[in-house]
């Protein structure tokens, strides 16, 4: 959480779920478990040495995923143009 009371989504790199699981020491709270089910419930963990993480969206609303998607599309257009001989 930020000092203003917000939060910043952060993620482990793909394939690093085992590292995340090993850092969880205990479950402190679970919210909306019955309503949402296990995968979608809000889990509050006590963790130790949790990370490194990648900030997926910053406090200004910039999304790493959106920026990567735009860059991938530009790269794909360049590759298609080269294949077509342009």
Question: pLDDT (tens digit, 9 = 90+) per residue, 24-68?
Answer: 999 999 999 999 999 999 999 999 998 888 888 887 888 888 999
Domain boundaries, the chain: 1-55, 61-86
3-state secondary structure 9-60: CEECCCCCHHHHHHHEEEEEEEECHHHHCCCCCEEEEEECCCCCCEECECCC
Q: What is the mean pLDDT of the chain?
A: 88
d(CA 11, CA 27): 18
d(CA 41, CA 55): 21
User: What confidence category does residue 5 fall into, taking pLDDT thresholds of 50, 70 and 90?
Assistant: low
CA quadruple 47, 50, 21, 27: dihedral, nearest 10: 20
pLDDT at 59: 79
- Which of 44-48, 60-64, 69-73, 78-82 has the lowest average pLDDT? 60-64
């Amino acid at each position: 959480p930020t000092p203003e009371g917000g939060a910043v989504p952060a993620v482990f790199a793909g394939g690093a779920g085992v590292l995340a699981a090993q850092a969880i020491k205990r479950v402190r709270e679970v919210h909306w478990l019955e309503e949402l089910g296990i995968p979608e419930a809000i889990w509050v963990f006590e963790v130790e040495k949790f990370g490194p993480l990648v900030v997926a969206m910053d406090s200004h609303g910039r999304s790493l995923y959106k920026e990567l998607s735009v860059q991938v599309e530009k790269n794909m257009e360049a590759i298609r143009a080269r294949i077509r001989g342009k």
